[in-house]
Amino acid sequence: MQAVAPAFAVVRLIRLGLRRQFPWLFAYLLFSAAYLALVALLFDHKAAYMVMYSIVQPLNVCVAALAVAEMIGLIFRDYPGLKTTGKWAINGALAVSVCASVVVAAMFPAPEKYGSFFVYYELILERSAVFSLAAIIAVLMVFLSRYPLRLGRNTLVASWFFSALFLAQAAAKLIDSISPHLSSRSVDFTEVGFSSICYVGWGLLLRTADAPEPKRQPIDKLREARLLQQLELMNGVLSRTIHR
């Protein structure tokens, strides 16, 4: 189910001609589908599974980071100051997560019962990186819910579903991290079901690239104008700061 759901979203993006509009989100979906299919095939082959996990998991975090950066670019395409600041925030968050992982690994040596010390440390790095990206996505969701950004339907759908998907995965990893064996089967199964719903819902709600955008009528013109003015002000301040 985990592999089929992102594969469905991949097929939808291809059929609707949206691969070029969302190249890194497309890559993330394709990578997730392939990775999860490998997990299913190698689950009963421990040695091969561990090698695959050790190689693929860092790549998965990198592709996820690029997908988040792409989403920031799409959301703030009309606000270059905010877009650049968002991408810098991703780089900073990943750097902090690497440093935090090194500190945690130094303070808490790998317990023997978890087997490979390399996988144990990699697990810490992966989860800290995911938490950092999740924090950035949470800020993005605040912007999406508060400010009347003029986004296309596909961008809006991708932003909300990808954000919900990534935050759910981060929440599951957080609970796993404090569980006795670094995993909680009930939480993981719940996350699998929720993620699958997000992938399928994302795919179903997408429209072709040339589909007409529905006209949006502002609920409160005065309030929305004031919020857009705030965004312009923030963008202007950040743009001047960046170019200094």
For 41-83, what is each residue's pLDDT tens digit? 887 787 888 888 888 888 888 898 899 889 888 888 888 888 8
Token pair listed for 111: 């317990």
- In the Cβ-directed half-sphere of 211, how many Cα atoms lie within 13 Å? 14
Local confidence band at 152 (pLDDT 50, 70, 90 cut-offs): confident
Measured distance between the N- and C-terminal CA atoms of the chain, rounded to whole angstroms: 50
> How many beta carbons lie within 10 A of that of residue 239, not counting itself?
16
CB 176 within 8 A of CB 182: yes
Please state, in angstroms and rounded to a whole number, the distance separating the CA atoms of residues 174 and 128: 9
Q: How far apart are CA 169 and CA 195, in angstroms?
A: 8
- Which pLDDT does position 211 carry in this prediction? 63
- pTM to 2 decimal places: 0.83
**How many other C-beta atoms lie within 10 A of the C-beta of residue 93?**
20
Written as one letter, the residue type at 66 is L
Domain spans in the chain, listed from the N-terminal domain onward: 4-210+219-242
21-44 pLDDT, tens digit each: 899 999 999 999 998 888 888 877
Q: What is the DSSP letter of 215?
A: P
